[in-house]
Amino acid sequence: MRWEIPDGLRWVERTEVGRAWLAELPGRLADCVARWELTLGPPFAYAFASLALPAELPDGTRAVLKLQYPDDDSVHEATALAHWAGHGAIRLLAHDAGHRALLVERCDPGTPLHALPPDAALDVAVDLLPRLGVPAGPPFTSLAEEAAGWAERMPGNWRRTNRPYERRLLDAALGLLAELAPDQGEQVLVNQDLHAGNVLAASREPWLVIDPKPLVGEREFAVVPLVRGAELGHSPAAVRHRLDRLSAELGLDRERVRGWAVGQTLAWSIGGDQVFPGQVETVRWLLDEG
């Protein structure tokens, strides 16, 4: 089949690793089509960390074929989907680890959670998150190990991008990560990218999670992507409202949720040489709440 790089993936052209991955994609795609006897549609334009295409199996099953960009965060995506076994998340239909290829359930109609009014979206999250927080261990990376990596990289990223935010934010985030990581509660499967664009309306269940970036850590971390994510509103009031509602209704320690949100949001505020000002604003709002 003929296809063009979707807009959401254009960023990979700027790196040597990305260009090498793009060069390998046609062969990998052809192998997957032959192996699973797929009929494919055009790539989804919004996919950011994978080439994702609607697919149909010989028996008519509607699916999505994903060829992952070779980052560390998504290495265990297939393992997480298998662990959840379709309970609150899309089903894994097939997996080729060598090709970093996943064949997964397609969500129909596929409307993102952020299409709902913010409080209705939070209602869905409150129902969904406890189902996803199942006990887990290896091979998933631990939240403590991931947090140590953030803490190690953050000062260098800050200096390399010409100190794009005030030093107090960096010091606060490093202090909170050092405090939180060694003193966690029950260890469960958490998804460090569970924002409102990664929960889609489906037919098998009303809402299903897609594209997990799994870790094993305490439940307080699981709500962080929804607290920091701009999809449900980007303002001090909106961020603090999500923090309050999710913490209270899920029985979580609000201060630990806030601390994890500061640490991960600042760690994710720089990607390569790009700074994401909205993430930095969110950290300020969380630290400076009255």
Query: Which is it for the CA torsion 21, 24, 26, 32, positive or negative?
Result: negative
Q: How many CB atoms lie within 10 A of CB 221?
A: 29
Distance between CA atoms of 39 and 59, rounded to whole angstroms? 11
E strand or H helix at 199, and its extent? strand 199-201
| CA 46 from centroid of its chain's CA atoms | 14
Q: Give the integer Cα–Cα distance in Å for 79 and 93.
A: 12
Looking at residue 115, the DSSP 8-state letter turns out to be G
List 119, 171, 193, 273, catalytic entry: 193
Residue 29 corresponds to which tokens in the numbers above? 């795609």
Report the distance separating Cα 48 and Cα 130, nearest Å. 27
The candidate with the shortest Cα–Cα distance to 158, out of 279, 269, 11, is 269
Our answer to whether residue 59 is catalytic in this structure is: no
Q: How far is CA 193 from the centre of its chain?
A: 2
3-state secondary structure 230-286: HHHCCCHHHHHHHHHHHHHHCCCCHHHHHHHHHHHHHHCCEECCEECHHHHHHHHHH
Catalytic residues: 193
